[in-house]
Amino acid sequence: MNGQVLTRRAFLRVFAVTMAGISAAALSSCAQGTPAPSTATAVPAEGGTPPPAAAEKVSLRFWSHSNPAFVQANEELIKRYAERRPEVEIKYEYFPYSEFIQTIQTSMAAKSEADVMEMFGSWVQSYAKGGTLAVTPDDIVTVPQAHELFYAAPLDGYMWEGKLYGLPNEYNLENGGVLTNRRMFEEAQLPYPPDWKAWEELVSDAKKLVKYDGEVMTVAGFHYITGDGLGFLFWEGILERGGDYFAADKIHLNLASPEAEETVQWLVDMATKDKVVDPFTFNLESNWVGDAFFQSLVAIGYIGPWIVPVARINHPDFADPWDYVSCPHYGEKMSFAADSGWGKVVSPNSKAQRQAWEFAQFSTMDETNARFWNVTTGTVPALKKVAEDPTLLQDMDWLGPSLKVLPYGRYVGYLHDRDFIWYNVIATRLVETMQGQHTVKECITIMNEEANAMIDSKIKG
């Protein structure tokens, strides 16, 4: 593909919008790209008495990207930390997303990175493998304790060769929910809200929601052809059909299994046989679901829950009533793969590793602080206690469909180059197949060869 594949991360880079339902006034107060010094505190996960103040002042640097809601959440946590540990000063710097990764990589090469960094979980294993992250001390949390506290999908992204290299704040998933346009359902005389028991029921409704102007599809009944969504649906389809996308060696991928073929056939059939979406009009480069739904071009849109607070801010004048509702899964039991979301990691070069880990612990393992961070950023909790709190929906009323499925997710795994697999291989080849360039068997063969060739190149390199 020659164009820009629209994804959650690409969307955030372009629009730099908040992930929480806070006011525009609050957003404008969060200046981007400006260092914001603070101070902080660390306590055990269950609270308790903080350690005694150090005799000398300790200074930490903390880096994150400059999404306004993330900045607001982190600044508040730094303030709370300072109230408990006034001897620890945290100098907070945040960077535009497009510069953030480069800043981390350049500084790590020079061993001058910040003491604490907010890192996307699906990057962590690569950095851990390269020796550029510190191992989480057992007196902060042991691996068994961490598995009790956090969901497996976000936590396992921070694991490498049996060791833990950070602590997650976010469970990053696309599975479990869809956007629905109430007006379109009512005009089509379909029950609302929908209560689909199987994908066949969703597809049946979607076929009734499609609209054309001549031969041109003007409204997609079900738009799932996105850079993120196709990968998530592909993994889920394989797992729920009883297969696995990893080969027997757990290093290479098996994208040509019977379960993979069945899943690709299903994804292609929805576009070419059921015609719930036109892959020439709605695809990786045009009419991205996060925009097209809020232009009344999509009746049902497959996208993660993160879109809801963003859309409420970006599309306040969207006239159609809409909701985020549960979507079906393939088999009797749900099983899906998810990225590991944002969390905190520590530099092995830090001269104050203890305090750095205490701040990471304070930000991710303390239930009150973790909840605040998730509510402010509009993200799904990685900490089980936060997600299982029945009052959470009072603050994040759209998360119901997502909270139901969190126990059924697993970390997608170490793919060597996650984005290449997700976008260059899976999304690109699936769309090409929907557009008639490959048969289903050709598609899975190409994907399998391309994915494993990349993996081989990484191993040999």
Question: pLDDT value at position 98?
Answer: 86
Mean pLDDT over 156-185 rounds to 97
Residue type, 460: K
Question: pLDDT value at position 12?
Answer: 53
**Predicted confidence (pLDDT) at residue 14 exceeds the cutoff of 60:** no
Using a pLDDT cut of 90, give the percent of the chain over it.
85
Question: pLDDT value at position 331?
Answer: 80
Q: How many CB atoms lie within 10 A of CB 412?
A: 24
Integer angstrom CA distances of residue 316 from 180, 185, 376, 385: 16, 21, 19, 32
Mean pLDDT over 221-249 rounds to 97
Q: What is the pLDDT of residues 439-459, one digit of tens each?
A: 999 999 999 999 999 999 999
Q: What is the pLDDT of residues 48-83, one digit of tens each?
A: 444 544 458 999 999 999 999 999 999 999 999 999
Question: Which band of pLDDT confidence, cut at 50, 70 and 90, is reported for residue 399?
Answer: very high
- Interhelix angle for 440-460 vs 258-272, to 10°? 130
Mean pLDDT over 348-365 rounds to 98
For residues 230 and 8, the model is more confident at: 230
For residues 379 and 38, the model is more confident at: 379
**Predicted confidence (pLDDT) at residue 303 exceeds the cutoff of 90:** yes
What span, in angstroms and rounded, lies between the C-alpha atoms of 111 and 334? 43
Mean pLDDT, the chain, whole residue set: 90
Q: What is the pLDDT of residues 15-39, one digit of tens each?
A: 443 333 333 233 322 323 333 333 3
Q: What is the pLDDT of residues 67-125, one digit of tens each?
A: 999 999 999 999 999 999 999 999 999 999 989 999 999 999 999 999 999 999 999 99
pTM of the model: 0.88
Question: pLDDT value at position 47?
Answer: 43
Question: Which band of pLDDT confidence, cut at 50, 70 and 90, is reported for residue 229?
Answer: very high
Task: Walk me through the domains of the chain, giving residue ranges and CATH numbers.
Answer: 17-173+339-403 (3.40.190.10), 177-337+414-460 (3.40.190.10)
Q: What is the pLDDT of residues 306-335, one digit of tens each?
A: 999 989 988 999 999 999 999 999 888 899
**Predicted confidence (pLDDT) at residue 461 exceeds the cutoff of 90:** no
